[in-house]
A = this chain, B = another copy of it.
Amino acid sequence: MIGHTPPATEHPFDVDTRVDRSSDGRFEATLSDRWNALGGVINGGYYVAVCLRALHEVLPHPDPVAVSTFFLRRGAPGPAEVRTDIARQGRRISAGEASLCQGGQELVRTTATFADLDQGQGLTEVLAKKPDLPAPEEAIDPIGDARLPGVTMTDHVEFRYPDSPGWRKGQPSGDPSVEFWIRFTGGRDADTLSLPLLVDGAAPAVLELGVAGSTTLQLTTHVRGRPAPGWLACRVTTRYVIGGYHEEDFEIWDTRGNLAAQARQLALVLAD
């Protein structure tokens, strides 16, 4: 089966990750300027989402359970191409790779294993707790009407924090650990194809160390469940900044209290 077609909504996530098959395994895409992150650069998770849309077209299973992306070069809004390659087609699991290219240059390379999470059987033991957050309606919108310079993706992804983040007040807390709510604006619920964007969709936790920003080198997302509709609870932590390199661990839980995704990226802090 080519199952679970993504919802054909007019939400910017669906419009901007659309791919059109041009030839065997190749797809045309158009990179949008609606997913710009700090610094006005295209968000890494958006590139991943475009790659996954193409892989979803060529692989038989619906859910990207393991996704790894290497960020090679910066792209710009405009036409792009996704070249896919199938590495394995099994009964339970399939795997493939997508290179997102622009002007003959490869921007990112994403490898992914797809499966059907409905068929996940066997042991379940959850040994950690979901984030402990106040209800979204009692939490704070850290962006509001004051868009961050150059950032456009906050028009399509919104947040609720228990307290206004230190970096937002110009008072970094020194503790790069944070929990908050996330969702797409406009009632577009997250699915397993959009979780790998959301895990890269928030302000880097290292902003609480007073750095100016962070550039992702590599991002792995493990999708662990299909999320329930509505707000998603995030737990984000950086523990090791060494010589400028740091990891960021990102968990997403749904409102039923189930883990939906677990991600880690290796990134480089940007000096002021």
Contact = CB atoms under 8 A, between A and B. Distances in A.
Q: Which 10 interchain pairs have the tightest Cβ spacing? A: A120-B243, A122-B244, A68-B68, A66-B218, A128-B239, A125-B241, A220-B220, A72-B88, A222-B266, A127-B239
A146 interface: no
A239 B126 contact: yes
B224 A66 contact: no
Given A87-B72, A95-B70, A241-B126, A247 B262 contact: yes
A140 to B, nearest CB: 25
A13 to B, nearest CB: 25
B266 A124 contact: no
Interface stretch (A23-31, A105-113, A188-196): A105-113
Given A122-B271, A259-B242, A217 B93 contact: yes
Interface in A142-179: 175-176
Interface in A226-250: 238-247
A258 B225 CA distance: 35
Interface of A: 65-66, 68, 70, 72-73, 87-88, 93, 95, 97, 106, 109, 111, 113, 117, 120-128, 175-176, 209, 211, 217-218, 220, 222, 224-225, 238-247, 258-259, 262, 264, 266, 268-269, 271
A52 to B, nearest CB: 15
Contacts of A218: 66, 68, 113, 220, 222
Contacts of A109: 87, 95, 97, 111
Contacts of A97: 109
Contacts of A245: 65, 120, 222, 224
A217 B113 contact: yes
Contacts of A123: 209, 211, 241, 244, 246, 269
Contacts of A247: 222, 262
A220 B264 contact: yes
Contacts of A122: 243-244, 268-269, 271
A258 B247 CA distance: 15
A233 to B, nearest CB: 15
A64 to B, nearest CB: 11
Contact of A243 (B68, B106, B121): B121
